[in-house]
Amino acid sequence: DSLVENDGDLKDPESLASSQPTYVDSRNRAVKSEFLVLVGLCTHLGCSPKYIKKLDSAAPDASWNGGFFCACHGSKFDMAGRVYKGVPASENLVVPPYTYETDSLMIIGVDGENA
């Protein structure tokens, strides 16, 4: 699993200091592992990180496994929005509260535990 492979390179791999609801899994930071919900603002100065696939020509370096890159100051986040060591951002990308009204309808901004 590529998320586990990155652990040694991350500031907070277990998402212990992250801003996220308690009901999301701490590793993939999601209720359902196939869908990731993040606030699209870098935790450094609020620029908008861009999703960049693995092996994309826009990748920040040759070891890039895919994730989010903030071009403003070089912060990098993995596919779960967890921040890498050695970049300006100090925290993982924020996971907002959300819930599933049905299997195919997600409501963002509504806390899943208190809905």
- Domain chopping of the chain, boundaries: 1-115
Residues identified as active-site? 73
Q: What is the pLDDT of residues 23-67, one digit of tens each?
A: 998 888 999 988 999 999 999 998 999 999 888 888 888 888 889
Residue 43 is classified by DSSP as T
pTM: 0.88
CA atoms within 13 A of residue 44's CA, in its CB half-sphere? 20
**Residue-level pLDDT at 115:** 55
Q: How confident is the model at residue 97 (pLDDT cuts 50, 70, 90)?
A: very high
Beta-carbon contacts of residue 69 (< 8 Å; ≥ 6 apart) = 49, 50, 52, 58, 59, 60, 75, 76, 77
Q: Which CATH number fits domain 1-115: 2.102.10.10, 3.40.50.10140, 3.40.50.2000, 1.10.287.540?
A: 2.102.10.10
